[in-house]
Amino acid sequence: MKGRAWIRDYGCYLLWLAALLPLALLRDFTPSNELRYMSIADEALREGHWFAFYHHGEPYADKPPLYLWLVMLGRWLFGDGCMGFLSLFSILPGLGIVAVMDRWVRGGGEEADGLGLPRRRAGQWMLLTTAFFAGGMVVLRMDMLMSLFIVLALRVFYRIYEGREKAGDRWWFPLLVFMALFTKGPYGVMIPVAGAMAFLLVERCGKTYRRGLWRRCFGWRFWLVLLSLSGLWWGMVYAEGGYDYLHNLLFNQTVHRAVDSFSHKRGFFYYFWSFGHAAAPWSLLYVAVLLTALGARFRRWPASDTAAVAVVGTALPRFFLTVFLTSLLMLSCVSAKLEVYLLPVYPFVVYYVLLRMPRWEGKVWARLLVSVPLLALTSALPAVLCLPSRIPSLSLLQGFPIYIAAAVLTAGGLWGWWLLWRRRDTAGTVRTVGLALFVAVFFGAFRLPALNPYMGYGALARAGRDLVAERMPNAEALVWDDPAVAYGAYRVRRAVGMAAYVKQPVREIQRWDEVQAMTGAGRPLLMFIGSGALAAEPAVASACAGRPQRTVGPYTAVWFGTQTEDMETEGGRP
């Protein structure tokens, strides 16, 4: 019986992990952030840096060290093949958040009494398929790990609030907050602390029998742990990187980004309109449930305020709502904004909607909003069969894995329509949508090897290294400070990250005449060139004609020798 109960409660986590593993193992690193983390980790391992990080010699004080340590460990253990290892630190924290939230709502008061396993399973699927939460599980970023620490910290806080404090909870709360800070930065402190303090104010805990909550949650233990660990970290940063690096970390990357950001600067209402696509395909449902709940709350606020405070068991929905609204308002006031910054609060809005499911799932308007993802799923197979022949840029969305994935989506959509409108099973429909999406991801991932040249630079870098090995088989090309071959890139976005593959600095060239200067330096040159430049710029096409080259996806690796080799090539010798 115990084994059967374990499979019932936790077997789904193994299925979710299995569904995401092909995606984690078969895809390439993306140029934007993932290759940058690889390069930073390589440089830290090469130079012996542990607290002050650099990217091609430039200080990189954007992030705390915890996640970069994990990247360094993956590079040391697995080299270029560390994608599967590092993906676990996005997938497992995501599944951990689902597990924590699911256990949390089992005893969530009167609105959780009628949830039961089917509805709780629907909440799990809803969170896992929320766009940016799902995206946070499949990209290599520290946000999901930080979100796990934030959720755990707030879970410990709420346990103290309920009067079910366990031994050590007053130490665990600040320690988990620090771990969130040590993973991502200030948001790791701002979200849990602001959410917890706002909730204590909303519940008037300073004026009731819960007056001691402020002292138990934010007393001397909290500040001792948070400040002492932060001071130790900053001291190590100062010892390794000096005053300028520490100032950059504490002020330029925190205060300046909050007040007048130098990157990702957005207006106050950015998260309000971006929530529509960031929380897809359930965003309309989330907004509708939140608005109806807030409207009902304001209508009965004067009569219910005092009575609601006295009942601990009914506070969980209010806590989730308070964390979400406080975080949304606070992050909207910060100058730097990205959709992924809101990742830690998605579990709270999703599970607030779940706690209210007994109230809205039978409504016609709710079924209409749940129908939105069904429209997308049902049209998947017709779209895959028709659009690639009409839109050339979608021609890669062909092949047996894609057709299987599209068929699964369409079948799931059709079954969902029947469940929703024939049987009026809203929770079953949500579970069907989630299952169809995860099965489709599993099968579609096997198409990634063909898509990787268009998504990353791994195949291109390997082709370039093979070309170097052919032209200079005896070259000592792995000396970073004085390489035998220079690497450059022209019309290749964020090409400096390819250093993680070629083990050499890759110089981004802005003007084509710089290539002649590089070849005149007495060192052979391998150029990575965008195919668009070869087709549109005659000078580039002429310079590359007749030279050894390899084309991979939309890029070409071209071998440029020294001036002597160039003269021999112009004279007719290859």
- Per DSSP bridges, beta strands 549-552 and 506-509 are unpaired
Residue 493 included in any domain: yes
Residues 253 and 213 grouped into a single domain: yes
Averaged pLDDT for residues 227-250 = 94
Cβ-based neighbour number of residue 434 at 10 Å: 22
Residues 81 and 220 grouped into a single domain: yes
Is residue 122 within 8 Å of 431, Cβ to Cβ? yes
Report whether pLDDT(501) > 70: yes
Please tell me the total count of domains within the chain. 3
Is residue 33 within 8 Å of 141, Cβ to Cβ? yes
User: In the block, which residue shows the tokens 């019986």?
Assistant: 1
Is residue 28 within 8 Å of 452, Cβ to Cβ? yes
Cα(197)–Cα(311) distance, integer angstroms: 19
Which two tokens mark 574?
A: 């290859």
Cβ-based neighbour number of residue 146 at 10 Å: 27
Averaged pLDDT for residues 201-219 = 77
Residue 19 included in any domain: no
**For the CA atoms of 554, 24, 122, 380, what is the dihedral angle to 10 degrees?**
30
Which two tokens mark 14?
A: 């193994």
Question: 388-423: per-residue pLDDT in tens?
Answer: 888 877 788 888 999 999 999 999 999 999 999 999
How would DSSP label each residue in 292-327?
A: HHHHHHHHHHHHHHHHHHT-GGGHHHHHHHHHHHHH
Question: 21-59: per-residue pLDDT in tens?
Answer: 999 999 999 988 899 999 999 999 999 999 999 988 889
Is residue 153 within 8 Å of 32, Cβ to Cβ? no
Question: What is the model's pLDDT at position 478?
Answer: 58
Question: 293-336: per-residue pLDDT in tens?
Answer: 888 777 765 444 433 333 334 789 999 999 999 999 999 988 88
Name the pLDDT band for 210 (thresholds 50, 70, 90).
low
Which two tokens mark 538?
A: 């005659």
Query: Of 436, 451, 466, which one is at a domain's C-terminal end?
Result: 451
User: Which residues, other chains included, contact 138 with Cβ-Cβ below 8 Å and sequence gap of 6+?
Assistant: 20, 23, 24, 87, 90, 91
Cβ-based neighbour number of residue 200 at 10 Å: 19
Cα(391)–Cα(172) distance, integer angstroms: 54
User: In the block, which residue shows the tokens 């007749």?
Assistant: 546
Name the pLDDT band for 503 (thresholds 50, 70, 90).
confident
| Residue type at 513 in one-letter notation | D
Cα(59)–Cα(245) distance, integer angstroms: 7
Report whether pLDDT(476) > 60: no
Averaged pLDDT for residues 228-246 = 94
Name the pLDDT band for 571 (thresholds 50, 70, 90).
very low
**Domain range for 523:** 457-570
Which two tokens mark 513?
A: 């005449």
Cα(429)–Cα(51) distance, integer angstroms: 48
Residues 465 and 355 grouped into a single domain: no
3-state DSSP call for residue 265?
A: strand
Residue 2 included in any domain: no
Cα(259)–Cα(251) distance, integer angstroms: 11
Question: What is the model's pLDDT at position 413?
Answer: 96
Residues 243 and 193 grouped into a single domain: yes
Residues 106 and 237 grouped into a single domain: yes
Question: What is the model's pLDDT at position 429?
Answer: 96
Dihedral pair phi/psi, residue 58, rounded to 5°: -90, 135
Query: Of 360, 384, 405, which one is at a domain's C-terminal end?
Result: 360
Report whether pLDDT(518) > 80: no
3-state DSSP call for residue 551?
A: strand
Report whether pLDDT(460) > 90: yes
User: Which residues, other chains included, contact 79 with Cβ-Cβ below 8 Å and sequence gap of 6+?
Assistant: none
Question: 264-284: per-residue pLDDT in tens?
Answer: 678 888 899 899 999 999 999
Residue 98 included in any domain: yes
Question: What is the model's pLDDT at position 572?
Answer: 43
3-state DSSP call for residue 223?
A: helix
Lowest mean pLDDT of 190-194, 229-233, 244-248, name the range. Answer: 244-248
Residue 227 included in any domain: yes
Cα(519)–Cα(499) distance, integer angstroms: 19
Residues 135 and 273 grouped into a single domain: yes
Dihedral pair phi/psi, residue 204, rounded to 5°: 55, 45
Residues 468 and 540 grouped into a single domain: yes
Averaged pLDDT for residues 338-344 = 91
Residues 77 and 206 grouped into a single domain: yes
Angle at 317 between CA 314 and CA 318, to 5 degrees: 85
User: In the block, which residue shows the tokens 């256990």?
Assistant: 103
Which two tokens mark 102?
A: 């699911």
Q: Which residue has the higher pLDDT, 475 or 145?
A: 145
Averaged pLDDT for residues 500-528 = 83
Averaged pLDDT for residues 472-481 = 63
Report whether pLDDT(290) > 60: yes
Q: Taking Cα atoms as reference points, which of 232, 219, 144, 235 lies closest to residue 174?
A: 219
Query: Of 360, 391, 426, which one is at a domain's C-terminal end?
Result: 360
Question: What is the model's pLDDT at position 206?
Answer: 61
Which two tokens mark 499?
A: 């250093």
Residues 230 and 353 grouped into a single domain: yes
Residues 208 and 95 grouped into a single domain: yes
Name the pLDDT band for 479 (thresholds 50, 70, 90).
low
Which two tokens mark 233?
A: 């970290």
- Per DSSP bridges, beta strands 525-530 and 555-560 are antiparallel
Cα(288)–Cα(282) distance, integer angstroms: 10
Cα(479)–Cα(504) distance, integer angstroms: 8
Is residue 477 within 8 Å of 502, Cβ to Cβ? no
Residue 366 included in any domain: no
Residue 289 included in any domain: yes
- Per DSSP bridges, beta strands 486-490 and 58-59 are unpaired
Q: Is 260 left (phi over 0), alpha (psi -120 to 50) or beta?
A: beta
Name the pLDDT band for 68 (thresholds 50, 70, 90).
very high
Residue 16 included in any domain: no
Cis peptide before 281, with omega less than 30 degrees from 0? yes
C-alpha of 526 from chain center: 33
Residues 429 and 518 grouped into a single domain: no
Report whether pLDDT(1) > 60: no
Cα(166)–Cα(231) distance, integer angstroms: 28
Residues 265 and 400 grouped into a single domain: no
User: Which residues, other chains included, contact 432 with Cβ-Cβ below 8 Å and sequence gap of 6+?
Assistant: 412, 415, 416, 419
